[in-house]
């Protein structure tokens, strides 16, 4: 029992250490595409050898998909779903009998928003993602964002 406890503590400690650095860095921006209409860009740069999971996963996937939670704002209307721009890889692991939709190197997530009225505002929220390489997966990570609409 003592060994099991020590093993579990080691795993928790490794997970906490892994979360301090991430092989994925995020940048955020916006672009006005017409009067009162903007696109916001959530850009992931992924270190070589690592991958990030798409929002939509196959039914046999075990990976955590990338998700977005936008803060409610009465000045904003979200137009459609978050789009993905990048080279989607359809991965299949025969040993584990699982599949995944993933990106390597970079992927851009785009959300179209409409501003109600003339007030300046920002798109805020949180995203959650998981990243893996060929040997391991890091625990899911949450990143808060605030993107000014200019």
The DSSP bridge pattern shows strands 37-46 and 24-34 to be antiparallel
In a domain, 11, yes or no: no
The Cα–Cα gap between 147 and 134 comes to 33
Domain hosting 98: range is: 23-148
Question: How many structural domains are present in the chain?
Answer: 1
Tens digits of residue pLDDT in 63-119: 999 999 999 999 999 999 999 999 999 999 888 899 999 999 999 999 999 999 888
Contact yes or no for 67/127 (Cβ under 8 A): yes
Least confident among 15-24, 42-51, 53-62, 67-76: 15-24
**pLDDT attached to residue 119:** 87
In a domain, 71, yes or no: yes
In a domain, 13, yes or no: no
The Cα–Cα gap between 144 and 103 comes to 21
Tens digits of residue pLDDT in 1-29: 433 333 334 344 445 444 458 999 999 99
Q: From residue 78, how far is each of 34, 54, 122 by CA, in Å?
A: 15, 20, 12
24: its two tokens:
């994925």
In a domain, 5, yes or no: no
User: What CATH number corresponds to the domain at position 117?
Assistant: 2.60.40.1250
pTM, two decimals, is: 0.84
The Cα–Cα gap between 73 and 94 comes to 45
Torsional sign, CA 53, 137, 104, 143: positive
């Amino acid at each position: 029992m003592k060994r099991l406890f020590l093993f579990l503590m080691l795993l928790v400690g490794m997970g906490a250490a892994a979360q301090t650095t991430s092989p994925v860095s995020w940048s955020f921006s916006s672009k006005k595409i017409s009067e009162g209409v903007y696109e916001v860009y959530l850009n992931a740069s992924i270190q070589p050898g690592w991958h990030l999971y798409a929002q939509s996963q196959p039914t046999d996937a075990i990976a955590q998909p990338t998700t977005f939670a936008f803060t409610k704002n009465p000045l904003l209307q979200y137009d459609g779903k978050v789009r993905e721009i990048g080279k989607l890889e359809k991965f299949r692991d025969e040993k584990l009998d699982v599949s995944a939709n993933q990106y390597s190197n970079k992927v851009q997530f785009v959300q179209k928003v409409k501003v109600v009225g003339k007030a300046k505002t920002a798109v805020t929220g949180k995203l959650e993602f998981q990243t893996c390489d060929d040997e391991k997966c890091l625990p899911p990570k949450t990143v808060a964002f605030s993107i000014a609409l200019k």
